[in-house]
Structure 1
Amino acid sequence: MGNLAPVAFDIETSGLDDQAVVTVAGISHQLTNWIVLNTGDRHASTDSLTEALNQCTDNQTELTVVANEEMLLRTLDDFADNRIDGDIHYLTAYNGETWNGGFDLPFLRSACIRNDVPWPFGDIAYADTMEATSRFATNDVGDLVGVYNTLIGDDNCDPFTDSEEAVTAFENGDWLPLLKHNLADIERTRELAELAGRFVPSSDFAMKNLAPPEVR
Protein backbone atom coordinates (compact mmCIF):
# COMPACT_ATOMS: atom_id res chain seq x y z
CA MET A 1 0.00 0.00 0.00
CA GLY A 2 2.90 2.35 0.72
CA ASN A 3 1.84 5.95 1.30
CA LEU A 4 -1.22 5.88 -0.95
CA ALA A 5 -4.35 7.53 0.46
CA PRO A 6 -7.75 5.86 0.00
CA VAL A 7 -10.38 7.31 -2.32
CA ALA A 8 -13.70 5.61 -1.60
CA PHE A 9 -16.13 4.77 -4.41
CA ASP A 10 -19.74 3.59 -4.39
CA ILE A 11 -22.59 3.40 -6.87
CA GLU A 12 -26.36 3.12 -6.66
CA THR A 13 -28.36 1.41 -9.39
CA SER A 14 -31.97 1.19 -10.53
CA GLY A 15 -31.99 -2.54 -9.80
CA LEU A 16 -30.16 -5.73 -10.71
CA ASP A 17 -31.99 -6.75 -13.91
CA ASP A 18 -30.68 -6.42 -17.46
CA GLN A 19 -32.23 -2.96 -17.84
CA ALA A 20 -30.74 -1.54 -14.63
CA VAL A 21 -28.57 1.57 -14.87
CA VAL A 22 -26.18 3.46 -12.61
CA THR A 23 -28.19 6.15 -10.83
CA VAL A 24 -25.53 7.63 -8.53
CA ALA A 25 -21.75 7.44 -8.34
CA GLY A 26 -19.94 8.87 -5.33
CA ILE A 27 -16.29 9.41 -4.46
CA SER A 28 -14.86 10.44 -1.09
CA HIS A 29 -11.41 11.95 -0.56
CA GLN A 30 -10.17 12.79 2.92
CA LEU A 31 -11.62 16.31 2.84
CA THR A 32 -13.92 16.36 -0.19
CA ASN A 33 -16.84 14.28 -1.45
CA TRP A 34 -18.07 14.31 -5.03
CA ILE A 35 -21.35 12.77 -6.20
CA VAL A 36 -22.93 12.59 -9.65
CA LEU A 37 -26.69 11.97 -9.96
CA ASN A 38 -28.42 10.52 -13.02
CA THR A 39 -32.00 11.81 -12.94
CA GLY A 40 -33.28 9.82 -15.92
CA ASP A 41 -34.21 13.08 -17.70
CA ARG A 42 -36.10 14.42 -14.68
CA HIS A 43 -35.57 17.66 -12.78
CA ALA A 44 -33.30 18.05 -9.76
CA SER A 45 -32.05 21.26 -8.15
CA THR A 46 -28.28 21.06 -7.90
CA ASP A 47 -27.97 24.03 -5.54
CA SER A 48 -30.59 22.98 -3.01
CA LEU A 49 -29.45 19.36 -3.00
CA THR A 50 -25.82 20.38 -2.55
CA GLU A 51 -26.74 22.65 0.35
CA ALA A 52 -28.70 19.86 2.04
CA LEU A 53 -25.86 17.36 1.58
CA ASN A 54 -23.31 19.73 3.08
CA GLN A 55 -25.43 19.94 6.22
CA CYS A 56 -24.90 16.19 6.68
CA THR A 57 -21.10 16.10 6.70
CA ASP A 58 -18.01 17.96 7.79
CA ASN A 59 -16.47 17.34 4.37
CA GLN A 60 -17.08 19.69 1.47
CA THR A 61 -19.48 17.88 -0.87
CA GLU A 62 -19.82 18.66 -4.57
CA LEU A 63 -22.80 17.48 -6.65
CA THR A 64 -23.11 17.13 -10.40
CA VAL A 65 -26.54 16.42 -11.91
CA VAL A 66 -26.86 14.75 -15.32
CA ALA A 67 -29.76 13.41 -17.38
CA ASN A 68 -28.75 9.83 -18.14
CA GLU A 69 -26.31 7.01 -17.47
CA GLU A 70 -23.99 7.84 -20.36
CA MET A 71 -23.51 11.38 -19.08
CA LEU A 72 -22.89 10.03 -15.57
CA LEU A 73 -20.15 7.74 -16.86
CA ARG A 74 -18.50 10.45 -18.94
CA THR A 75 -18.61 12.83 -15.98
CA LEU A 76 -17.06 10.14 -13.77
CA ASP A 77 -14.34 9.60 -16.36
CA ASP A 78 -13.51 13.33 -16.39
CA PHE A 79 -13.47 13.45 -12.60
CA ALA A 80 -11.16 10.44 -12.32
CA ASP A 81 -8.76 11.94 -14.86
CA ASN A 82 -8.60 15.30 -13.11
CA ARG A 83 -9.04 14.51 -9.42
CA ILE A 84 -7.60 11.05 -8.74
CA ASP A 85 -3.80 10.79 -8.89
CA GLY A 86 -2.48 7.25 -9.13
CA ASP A 87 0.81 8.37 -7.58
CA ILE A 88 -0.83 9.35 -4.28
CA HIS A 89 -4.27 7.67 -4.26
CA TYR A 90 -5.70 4.19 -4.39
CA LEU A 91 -9.36 3.46 -5.12
CA THR A 92 -11.41 1.41 -2.69
CA ALA A 93 -14.99 0.24 -2.31
CA TYR A 94 -16.78 -2.10 0.06
CA ASN A 95 -17.34 -5.34 -1.88
CA GLY A 96 -16.63 -3.33 -5.00
CA GLU A 97 -14.47 -6.08 -6.47
CA THR A 98 -13.05 -9.09 -4.65
CA TRP A 99 -11.25 -12.21 -5.78
CA ASN A 100 -14.55 -14.04 -6.22
CA GLY A 101 -16.97 -11.27 -7.20
CA GLY A 102 -18.04 -7.89 -5.91
CA PHE A 103 -20.62 -5.44 -7.19
CA ASP A 104 -19.61 -1.87 -8.00
CA LEU A 105 -16.76 -2.36 -10.46
CA PRO A 106 -18.30 -5.27 -12.42
CA PHE A 107 -21.56 -3.30 -12.76
CA LEU A 108 -19.60 -0.21 -13.83
CA ARG A 109 -17.72 -2.17 -16.51
CA SER A 110 -20.98 -3.41 -17.99
CA ALA A 111 -22.39 0.12 -17.95
CA CYS A 112 -19.33 1.41 -19.81
CA ILE A 113 -19.80 -1.27 -22.45
CA ARG A 114 -23.51 -0.46 -22.83
CA ASN A 115 -22.77 3.22 -23.37
CA ASP A 116 -19.50 2.90 -25.32
CA VAL A 117 -17.72 4.96 -22.67
CA PRO A 118 -14.04 4.47 -21.71
CA TRP A 119 -13.18 2.74 -18.46
CA PRO A 120 -12.64 5.64 -16.01
CA PHE A 121 -10.08 4.05 -13.69
CA GLY A 122 -6.93 3.61 -15.75
CA ASP A 123 -3.59 3.10 -13.98
CA ILE A 124 -5.12 3.38 -10.50
CA ALA A 125 -4.45 0.90 -7.71
CA TYR A 126 -7.43 -0.76 -6.03
CA ALA A 127 -7.89 -2.57 -2.73
CA ASP A 128 -11.26 -3.69 -1.41
CA THR A 129 -12.23 -2.36 2.02
CA MET A 130 -14.28 -5.46 2.80
CA GLU A 131 -11.18 -7.63 2.50
CA ALA A 132 -9.04 -5.23 4.55
CA THR A 133 -11.55 -5.01 7.40
CA SER A 134 -11.81 -8.80 7.56
CA ARG A 135 -8.60 -8.56 9.61
CA PHE A 136 -10.62 -7.05 12.49
CA ALA A 137 -12.84 -8.97 14.89
CA THR A 138 -16.34 -7.96 13.80
CA ASN A 139 -18.31 -10.98 15.05
CA ASP A 140 -18.82 -12.20 11.47
CA VAL A 141 -20.81 -9.10 10.49
CA GLY A 142 -20.26 -8.86 6.75
CA ASP A 143 -22.12 -5.81 5.46
CA LEU A 144 -20.75 -2.27 5.28
CA VAL A 145 -23.14 -0.80 7.86
CA GLY A 146 -22.62 -3.62 10.32
CA VAL A 147 -18.83 -3.52 10.08
CA TYR A 148 -18.79 0.28 10.31
CA ASN A 149 -21.04 0.29 13.37
CA THR A 150 -18.87 -2.35 15.05
CA LEU A 151 -15.54 -0.64 14.40
CA ILE A 152 -16.40 3.08 14.30
CA GLY A 153 -20.09 3.71 14.94
CA ASP A 154 -20.24 7.45 14.29
CA ASP A 155 -23.54 9.08 13.37
CA ASN A 156 -24.31 9.47 9.67
CA CYS A 157 -27.01 10.86 7.41
CA ASP A 158 -28.21 7.57 5.87
CA PRO A 159 -32.05 7.57 5.76
CA PHE A 160 -32.24 3.95 4.57
CA THR A 161 -32.05 0.66 6.42
CA ASP A 162 -31.74 -1.35 3.20
CA SER A 163 -29.98 -0.57 -0.08
CA GLU A 164 -33.10 -1.66 -1.98
CA GLU A 165 -34.70 1.56 -0.78
CA ALA A 166 -32.30 3.38 -3.12
CA VAL A 167 -34.04 1.71 -6.07
CA THR A 168 -37.45 2.96 -4.94
CA ALA A 169 -36.08 6.45 -4.27
CA PHE A 170 -34.76 6.67 -7.84
CA GLU A 171 -38.05 5.45 -9.28
CA ASN A 172 -39.93 8.11 -7.28
CA GLY A 173 -37.45 10.91 -7.92
CA ASP A 174 -36.67 11.23 -4.20
CA TRP A 175 -33.22 12.64 -4.86
CA LEU A 176 -32.12 13.81 -1.43
CA PRO A 177 -32.61 10.49 0.43
CA LEU A 178 -30.91 8.68 -2.45
CA LEU A 179 -27.94 11.05 -2.34
CA LYS A 180 -27.71 10.94 1.45
CA HIS A 181 -27.52 7.16 1.28
CA ASN A 182 -24.65 7.29 -1.21
CA LEU A 183 -22.89 9.99 0.80
CA ALA A 184 -23.10 7.89 3.96
CA ASP A 185 -21.72 4.83 2.16
CA ILE A 186 -18.72 6.58 0.60
CA GLU A 187 -17.81 8.22 3.90
CA ARG A 188 -18.20 4.94 5.81
CA THR A 189 -16.03 3.17 3.26
CA ARG A 190 -13.32 5.83 3.38
CA GLU A 191 -13.24 5.89 7.20
CA LEU A 192 -12.96 2.09 7.32
CA ALA A 193 -10.15 2.16 4.75
CA GLU A 194 -8.32 4.80 6.78
CA LEU A 195 -8.76 2.68 9.93
CA ALA A 196 -7.39 -0.38 8.14
CA GLY A 197 -4.46 1.71 6.95
CA ARG A 198 -3.51 2.35 10.58
CA PHE A 199 -3.85 -1.21 11.89
CA VAL A 200 -3.71 -3.77 9.06
CA PRO A 201 -0.34 -4.83 7.60
CA SER A 202 0.34 -3.49 4.11
CA SER A 203 0.86 -7.06 2.91
CA ASP A 204 -2.78 -7.83 3.72
CA PHE A 205 -4.07 -5.20 1.29
CA ALA A 206 -4.79 -7.12 -1.92
CA MET A 207 -3.71 -4.24 -4.16
CA LYS A 208 -4.15 -4.44 -7.92
CA ASN A 209 -4.01 -2.03 -10.83
CA LEU A 210 -7.37 -1.29 -12.48
CA ALA A 211 -5.93 -0.42 -15.90
CA PRO A 212 -6.94 -3.00 -18.54
CA PRO A 213 -4.06 -4.63 -20.48
CA GLU A 214 -4.93 -2.44 -23.47
CA VAL A 215 -6.29 1.04 -22.73
CA ARG A 216 -8.03 2.28 -25.86
Structure 2
Amino acid sequence: MTLEQVVVDIETSGFSVDDVVTTVGFAVPLGVRVFVQTNGQEAPGVEAAVGDRVESHVKVTRHESERELFEAVSGFVEVRFRDEDVLLVAYNGERWKGGFDVPFLRTQYAHHDIDWPFTDVPYADVMPLVTNRFNTTVSDEDEPRGDLAGVYEALCDGRYGDMDPFAESSEAVTAYENERFAELVVHNVADMLRTRSLGRLAERYCSKSDFNVKSLTPTTEG
Protein backbone atom coordinates (compact mmCIF):
# COMPACT_ATOMS: atom_id res chain seq x y z
CA MET A 1 0.00 0.00 0.00
CA THR A 2 1.33 3.44 -0.99
CA LEU A 3 1.09 6.16 1.64
CA GLU A 4 -0.50 9.46 0.66
CA GLN A 5 2.19 12.15 0.56
CA VAL A 6 1.46 15.33 2.51
CA VAL A 7 4.07 18.08 2.18
CA VAL A 8 4.95 20.30 5.13
CA ASP A 9 6.88 23.55 4.75
CA ILE A 10 7.46 26.45 7.12
CA GLU A 11 8.76 30.00 6.97
CA THR A 12 10.43 31.79 9.87
CA SER A 13 11.53 35.26 10.91
CA GLY A 14 15.16 34.11 11.02
CA PHE A 15 17.35 31.16 11.99
CA SER A 16 17.97 31.54 15.74
CA VAL A 17 16.03 30.16 18.70
CA ASP A 18 14.76 33.70 19.31
CA ASP A 19 13.01 33.81 15.95
CA VAL A 20 9.47 32.62 15.27
CA VAL A 21 7.60 30.49 12.79
CA THR A 22 5.63 32.77 10.47
CA THR A 23 3.84 30.20 8.30
CA VAL A 24 3.16 26.48 8.39
CA GLY A 25 1.72 24.93 5.25
CA PHE A 26 0.54 21.50 4.19
CA ALA A 27 0.03 20.39 0.58
CA VAL A 28 -2.57 17.62 0.41
CA PRO A 29 -3.81 15.94 -2.77
CA LEU A 30 -6.82 18.26 -3.16
CA GLY A 31 -5.16 21.57 -2.30
CA VAL A 32 -3.03 23.51 0.14
CA ARG A 33 -3.66 24.57 3.75
CA VAL A 34 -1.60 27.49 5.13
CA PHE A 35 -1.48 28.92 8.64
CA VAL A 36 0.12 32.38 8.87
CA GLN A 37 0.79 34.35 12.01
CA THR A 38 0.86 38.13 11.60
CA ASN A 39 2.12 39.25 15.03
CA GLY A 40 -1.19 40.95 15.77
CA GLN A 41 -1.56 42.71 12.43
CA GLU A 42 -4.94 42.50 10.70
CA ALA A 43 -3.68 41.58 7.19
CA PRO A 44 -7.05 41.82 5.43
CA GLY A 45 -7.55 40.10 2.10
CA VAL A 46 -4.61 37.70 2.34
CA GLU A 47 -6.57 34.62 1.24
CA ALA A 48 -8.12 36.46 -1.73
CA ALA A 49 -4.75 37.88 -2.79
CA VAL A 50 -3.18 34.43 -2.62
CA GLY A 51 -6.07 32.91 -4.55
CA ASP A 52 -5.50 35.39 -7.38
CA ARG A 53 -1.89 34.23 -7.78
CA VAL A 54 -2.12 30.48 -7.18
CA GLU A 55 -3.78 27.94 -9.44
CA SER A 56 -4.31 25.29 -6.75
CA HIS A 57 -7.06 25.52 -4.15
CA VAL A 58 -5.58 27.26 -1.10
CA LYS A 59 -7.16 27.83 2.30
CA VAL A 60 -5.39 30.42 4.48
CA THR A 61 -6.12 31.32 8.09
CA ARG A 62 -4.52 34.19 10.02
CA HIS A 63 -3.36 33.85 13.61
CA GLU A 64 -2.36 36.57 16.07
CA SER A 65 0.72 34.83 17.47
CA GLU A 66 3.02 31.87 17.06
CA ARG A 67 1.29 30.06 19.89
CA GLU A 68 -2.12 30.47 18.25
CA LEU A 69 -0.64 29.26 14.97
CA PHE A 70 0.72 26.10 16.63
CA GLU A 71 -2.57 25.38 18.36
CA ALA A 72 -4.36 25.63 15.00
CA VAL A 73 -1.73 23.45 13.29
CA SER A 74 -2.06 20.80 16.01
CA GLY A 75 -5.83 20.75 15.56
CA PHE A 76 -5.47 20.35 11.80
CA VAL A 77 -2.95 17.52 12.14
CA GLU A 78 -5.15 15.70 14.65
CA VAL A 79 -8.16 15.79 12.33
CA ARG A 80 -6.47 15.48 8.92
CA PHE A 81 -3.94 12.78 9.81
CA ARG A 82 -6.12 10.67 12.10
CA ASP A 83 -6.64 7.14 10.76
CA GLU A 84 -5.11 8.17 7.43
CA ASP A 85 -2.29 6.45 5.56
CA VAL A 86 -0.17 9.60 5.36
CA LEU A 87 3.52 10.08 4.65
CA LEU A 88 4.69 13.52 5.75
CA VAL A 89 7.42 14.84 3.45
CA ALA A 90 9.58 17.96 3.32
CA TYR A 91 12.49 19.15 1.22
CA ASN A 92 15.68 19.25 3.27
CA GLY A 93 13.46 19.32 6.33
CA GLU A 94 15.63 17.78 9.01
CA ARG A 95 19.25 18.83 8.55
CA TRP A 96 20.01 21.84 10.72
CA LYS A 97 21.49 24.81 8.80
CA GLY A 98 20.62 23.05 5.55
CA GLY A 99 17.02 22.17 6.25
CA PHE A 100 15.27 23.42 9.32
CA ASP A 101 11.55 22.64 9.15
CA VAL A 102 11.32 19.78 11.64
CA PRO A 103 14.06 20.96 14.06
CA PHE A 104 12.62 24.50 14.11
CA LEU A 105 9.14 23.16 14.80
CA ARG A 106 10.44 20.96 17.62
CA THR A 107 12.23 23.88 19.26
CA GLN A 108 9.30 26.28 19.02
CA TYR A 109 6.74 23.70 20.17
CA ALA A 110 8.98 23.06 23.18
CA HIS A 111 9.23 26.81 23.89
CA HIS A 112 5.44 26.99 24.09
CA ASP A 113 5.15 23.70 25.99
CA ILE A 114 2.67 22.38 23.43
CA ASP A 115 2.55 18.65 22.75
CA TRP A 116 4.25 17.49 19.57
CA PRO A 117 1.44 16.96 17.02
CA PHE A 118 3.09 14.49 14.65
CA THR A 119 2.64 11.34 16.72
CA ASP A 120 2.25 8.16 14.68
CA VAL A 121 3.16 10.06 11.50
CA PRO A 122 5.82 8.59 9.19
CA TYR A 123 8.18 11.09 7.60
CA ALA A 124 10.64 11.19 4.69
CA ASP A 125 12.95 13.90 3.39
CA VAL A 126 12.65 14.43 -0.36
CA MET A 127 16.03 16.14 -0.77
CA PRO A 128 18.42 13.16 -0.35
CA LEU A 129 15.98 11.05 -2.34
CA VAL A 130 16.06 13.19 -5.49
CA THR A 131 19.67 14.39 -5.23
CA ASN A 132 20.99 10.83 -4.73
CA ARG A 133 18.70 9.06 -7.19
CA PHE A 134 18.46 11.60 -10.05
CA ASN A 135 20.99 13.53 -12.10
CA THR A 136 20.52 17.23 -11.25
CA THR A 137 23.59 18.65 -13.01
CA VAL A 138 22.82 21.12 -15.81
CA SER A 139 25.13 21.85 -18.74
CA ASP A 140 26.50 25.23 -17.62
CA GLU A 141 27.23 24.23 -14.00
CA ASP A 142 29.99 22.06 -12.54
CA GLU A 143 28.11 20.88 -9.44
CA PRO A 144 24.72 19.15 -9.24
CA ARG A 145 21.89 21.31 -8.01
CA GLY A 146 20.73 20.69 -4.45
CA ASP A 147 18.44 23.59 -3.55
CA LEU A 148 14.69 23.11 -3.94
CA ALA A 149 14.23 25.69 -6.69
CA GLY A 150 17.23 24.42 -8.65
CA VAL A 151 16.35 20.74 -8.39
CA TYR A 152 12.74 21.43 -9.30
CA GLU A 153 13.81 23.43 -12.34
CA ALA A 154 16.16 20.64 -13.43
CA LEU A 155 13.69 17.78 -13.03
CA CYS A 156 10.19 19.24 -13.43
CA ASP A 157 8.28 21.66 -15.64
CA GLY A 158 9.17 24.84 -13.74
CA ARG A 159 5.69 26.38 -13.53
CA TYR A 160 5.64 26.63 -9.75
CA GLY A 161 8.93 28.50 -9.88
CA ASP A 162 7.23 31.19 -11.95
CA MET A 163 4.61 31.54 -9.21
CA ASP A 164 7.18 32.33 -6.49
CA PRO A 165 7.45 36.09 -5.78
CA PHE A 166 10.94 35.66 -4.28
CA ALA A 167 14.21 34.94 -6.03
CA GLU A 168 15.73 33.78 -2.72
CA SER A 169 14.04 32.10 0.25
CA SER A 170 15.68 34.65 2.57
CA GLU A 171 13.29 37.26 1.16
CA ALA A 172 10.55 35.61 3.22
CA VAL A 173 12.08 37.16 6.35
CA THR A 174 11.93 40.66 4.88
CA ALA A 175 8.37 40.10 3.66
CA TYR A 176 7.25 39.19 7.17
CA GLU A 177 9.01 42.20 8.68
CA ASN A 178 7.34 44.48 6.11
CA GLU A 179 3.91 42.86 6.62
CA ARG A 180 3.76 41.56 3.04
CA PHE A 181 1.87 38.50 4.21
CA ALA A 182 0.27 37.57 0.88
CA GLU A 183 3.69 37.31 -0.79
CA LEU A 184 4.96 35.29 2.16
CA VAL A 185 2.11 32.81 1.82
CA VAL A 186 2.49 32.54 -1.98
CA HIS A 187 6.18 31.73 -1.52
CA ASN A 188 5.27 29.08 1.06
CA VAL A 189 2.73 27.58 -1.36
CA ALA A 190 5.23 27.60 -4.25
CA ASP A 191 7.78 25.70 -2.16
CA MET A 192 5.19 23.12 -1.15
CA LEU A 193 4.01 22.55 -4.71
CA ARG A 194 7.61 22.18 -5.89
CA THR A 195 8.26 19.66 -3.12
CA ARG A 196 5.06 17.77 -3.96
CA SER A 197 6.07 17.54 -7.63
CA LEU A 198 9.47 16.12 -6.68
CA GLY A 199 7.91 13.68 -4.23
CA ARG A 200 5.52 12.41 -6.88
CA LEU A 201 8.38 12.12 -9.36
CA ALA A 202 10.28 9.99 -6.87
CA GLU A 203 7.24 7.76 -6.38
CA ARG A 204 7.22 7.05 -10.12
CA TYR A 205 10.91 6.22 -10.48
CA CYS A 206 12.30 5.18 -7.08
CA SER A 207 11.76 2.18 -4.84
CA LYS A 208 9.97 2.37 -1.50
CA SER A 209 13.23 1.64 0.31
CA ASP A 210 14.80 4.75 -1.26
CA PHE A 211 12.41 6.96 0.71
CA ASN A 212 14.13 6.14 4.05
CA VAL A 213 10.91 6.56 6.04
CA LYS A 214 11.20 7.29 9.78
CA SER A 215 8.73 7.84 12.60
CA LEU A 216 8.20 11.27 14.15
CA THR A 217 6.62 9.77 17.26
CA PRO A 218 8.43 11.02 20.41
CA THR A 219 9.72 8.62 23.06
CA THR A 220 7.25 9.97 25.62
CA GLU A 221 4.09 12.00 25.19
CA GLY A 222 2.64 14.88 27.22
In the superposition, the TM-score normalised over structure 1's length comes to: 0.93
1:149 corresponding residue in structure 2: 153
1:130-174 Cα distance to aligned partner (Å, 9 max, x none): 022121110110000000011113322210011111000000101
Stretch deviating more after TM superposition (100-109 or 200-209): 100-109
Compared CA separation, residues 86 and 58, structure 1 to 2 (3 A): farther
- The answer to whether residue 173 in structure 2 is matched with residue 178 in structure 1 is no
Q: Return 5+ residue gaps in structure 2 as ranges.
A: 138-143
Structure 1 residue 56, shift from structure 2 partner:
3.0
Cα distance in 1 between the residues matched to 2:82 and 2:6: 10
- The answer to whether residue 31 in structure 2 is matched with residue 25 in structure 1 is no
**What SS does the corresponding residue of 1:127 show, helix, strand or coil?**
strand
Identity %: 39
Structure 1 residue 98, shift from structure 2 partner:
4.8
**What SS does the corresponding residue of 2:159 show, helix, strand or coil?**
coil
Q: 2:102 aligns with which of 100, 105, 119?
A: 105
Q: 2:86 aligns with which of 84, 89, 101?
A: 89
1:78 corresponding residue in structure 2: 75
Q: Is the 8 A contact 1:96 1:102 kept in 2?
A: yes
Q: Is the 8 A contact 1:98 1:131 kept in 2?
A: no
Structure 1 residue 50, shift from structure 2 partner:
1.5
Q: Is the 8 A contact 1:86 1:124 kept in 2?
A: no
Amino acid at match of 2:167: T
1:214 corresponding residue in structure 2: 220
- The answer to whether residue 115 in structure 2 is matched with residue 118 in structure 1 is yes
1:202 corresponding residue in structure 2: 208
1:107-147 Cα distance to aligned partner (Å, 9 max, x none): 00000011111111110000001022121110110000000
- The answer to whether residue 62 in structure 2 is matched with residue 61 in structure 1 is no
Compared CA separation, residues 25 and 180, structure 1 to 2 (3 A): same
Amino acid at match of 2:147: D
Q: Is the 8 A contact 1:54 1:60 kept in 2?
A: yes
In the superposition, the TM-score normalised over structure 2's length comes to: 0.91
Amino acid at match of 1:196: A
Q: Is the 8 A contact 1:86 1:125 kept in 2?
A: no
Amino acid at match of 1:185: D
Q: How many pairs align?
A: 213
Compared CA separation, residues 201 and 177, structure 1 to 2 (3 A): same
1:35 corresponding residue in structure 2: 34
**What SS does the corresponding residue of 1:55 show, helix, strand or coil?**
helix
CA RMSD of aligned residues (A): 1.7
Amino acid at match of 1:138: T
Q: 2:168 aligns with which of 162, 165, 189?
A: 162
Q: Return 5+ residue gaps in structure 1 as ranges.
A: none
